[in-house]
Amino acid sequence: MYDLAEVCTKSAYQSDTKKEMRIETTTPTRIDLAGGTLDLYPIYLFEEGGLTVNCAIDMRCSVMLESRDDSQICLNSIDLRTEEMYPDVDSISTDGALEIVSRAIKFFHPSMGLNVITENNIKQGSGLGASSSLLMGVLTGLNALTASDYSFEQLIDLAADLEAQCIRVPTGKQDYFAAAFGGVSAISFEVGGCKRESLLSNEDDVRELESRLILSFTGAPRFSGATNWSMIRNYIENNPRTVAGMKRIKETAAAMLACIRERDWNEFPRIVDEEWQNRRALAEGVTNETVESVMQAALNAGALANKLCGAGGGGCMITCIEPGTRTAVEEAVTMAGAEVLPFRIVNDGIRLETTEQRKG
């Protein structure tokens, strides 16, 4: 991983129209292991602090920013097959399909025209934090291109603000930490800010955790009842089910943190199952017949535990296994209608490359 301040200093576009700058970023997505929803403001304040444990994976989003010698802003999303063009920064609309990219550019307000190409090949509704990963890539590229000096922590706060403007509800921050720093992380959310702890620095430990997980896609989510906003509203309204569920999620997150610190892989599946039971009790629609069928097929083939990633209702699922049962469990999950997704846990976060060319 690179030094953000150093890249901003060395690679920033200068106001010399005979130079062209190209910046490319790739950012990992993440698997959430425990503590999801506790990264939502203000729930972690009400709970006297929140804790989320996740791991970054090599299913990456990519962004390319290229300076122009005119004032035009050209946005292109390869996966959405959408293009938007504006005569200058001030004319950029935030009502289009590429709203999150538009808001990021308007915030940094570059002094030159730009071509911006984004690509997110992660399945829609995966629950892997792909949109947040892509946003961190855009912000990091703009940070370098404009010679700004925002730290990763400041970019994470900015990303959460911009995403909240887009979706009109509060957002969590765990996805941005995985995209920025990579690795297996514990992120604490407290009064005054957030703090990240890297849990597995030894490559053998990382591969051991990886060997005990299968990732699969169960299908696009088909519900909206268990959204972040409904959970926040229910919590504020003191819904007993939601309040009790959040407290259990916090306890399970603490158990997951201890488990990974101690490399207690025998305890790991039990905690994953506990996390899933907590989450499916938070609201109607977190699970469905399709998800339950795939999970049962995995268990019948020798799996130890399952949980959905993200808010639930579909999307990606992790399955805990003993390494020797991988083939049988993957076959069972596939026969049940899910798609097994190859992945690796990665210790690096954002990757950034710059190219500067003189014209003429």
Tens digits of per-residue pLDDT, 264-322?
999 999 999 999 999 888 877 889 999 999 999 999 999 999 999 998 889 999 999 99
Residues 186-202: tens digit of each pLDDT: 999 999 999 999 999 89
Q: What is the pLDDT of residue 199?
A: 97
Q: Which residue has the tokens 């997951």?
A: 256
Instruction: Yes or no: say if 171 and 40 are a contact pair by the CB < 8 Å rule.
Output: yes
**pTM to 2 decimals?**
0.91
Cis before 170? omega within 30: no
Residues 70-88: tens digit of each pLDDT: 999 999 999 999 999 999 9
Residue 17 pLDDT class (50, 70, 90 cuts): very low
- Which of 184, 239, 232, 176 lies closest to 53 in space, CA to CA? 184
277's CB contacts (< 8 A; 6+ apart) are none
How is residue 47 written in tokens? 């709970």
Residues 122-161: tens digit of each pLDDT: 998 999 999 999 999 999 999 999 999 999 999 999 999 9
How is residue 134 written in tokens? 């892509």
Domains of the chain as residue ranges with CATH:
4-200+346-358 (3.30.230.10), 203-340 (3.30.70.890)
Instruction: Yes or no: say if 11 and 140 are a contact pair by the CB < 8 Å rule.
Output: no
Chain centroid offset of residue 106 CA = 23
Percent of the chain surpassing pLDDT 70: 92
Residue 20 pLDDT class (50, 70, 90 cuts): confident
Residue 5 pLDDT class (50, 70, 90 cuts): very low
Per 3-state DSSP, what percentage of the chain is helix, strand, and coil (rounded to 5)?
Answer: 40, 25, 35
